[in-house]
Amino acid sequence: MNQPPLLLASSSPYRKELLARLGLPFNSASPDIDETPAPGESAEQLALRLATGKARALAEHYPDTIIIGSDQVATLPDGTLLNKPGSHQKAREQLGLSSGNSVRFLTGLAVLDTRTGTLKTRCEPFEVHFRELTAEEIENYLNKEQPYDCAGSFKMEGLGIALFRSMEGRDPNSLIGLPLIALIDLLRELGVNPLLQP
């Protein structure tokens, strides 16, 4: 069986950049799904549902394709969800709550082979321990990077690294939005091995 085309179910420039590192040709398309958490839904359930929803939303339009969906949820120890802030004020509030705290990131990953209907999913956890941040540090950081489209209000691949005391997890790429190690695992299960590409 020839390798089917890959489709990234995302318009995120961060996810596109990560997937490009694998050297596999791919296209991308933006799925339209409702990202509202369901009542009683855990952070892990939400991340997996959104990732799966993104992949399934494009399946009808992309037969004979492997579709990659990914979505991220961040939570404080008390269970508070940290979504994409969307504004300076909300980002300031989020970083204020994260200061001196540990934030758990759960990145849902769904890989759907539309040739067979096979769906493979993973949820990749990653823990970030924030420094104690002053109001001035938070304000200065936000003015420099404006991470308003990033869950948790930071860009780990940029100056956001300066916000952290330490990080724990298998794959720091999951913090940027696409857990590459888990993705390679799932692609290999579907017969796509980045190490064996011409």
Q: Per residue, what are the HEC states of 123-143?
A: EEEEEEEECCCCHHHHHHHHH
Q: What is the pLDDT of residue 150?
A: 87
CATH architecture of 6-196: Alpha-Beta Complex (3.90)
Candidates 32, 34, 71, 113; catalytic one? 71
Instruction: Tell me the two tokens of residue 172.
Output: 């720091």
**pLDDT above 60 for 1:** no
32 tagged catalytic:
no
Tens digit of each residue's pLDDT (9 = 90 or more) over 125-135: 999 999 999 99
Cα 10 versus chain centre, distance:
10
Burial class (CB in 10 A: 0-12, 13-18, 19+), 73: buried
Q: Across all residues in the chain, what is the average pLDDT?
A: 94
Question: Using CA of residue 21, residue 26, residue 27, residue 30, what is the dihedral sign?
Answer: negative
**pLDDT above 80 for 2:** no
**pLDDT above 70 for 56:** yes
If you count DSSP H runs as helices and E runs as strands, how many of each does the chain have, helices first? 6, 7
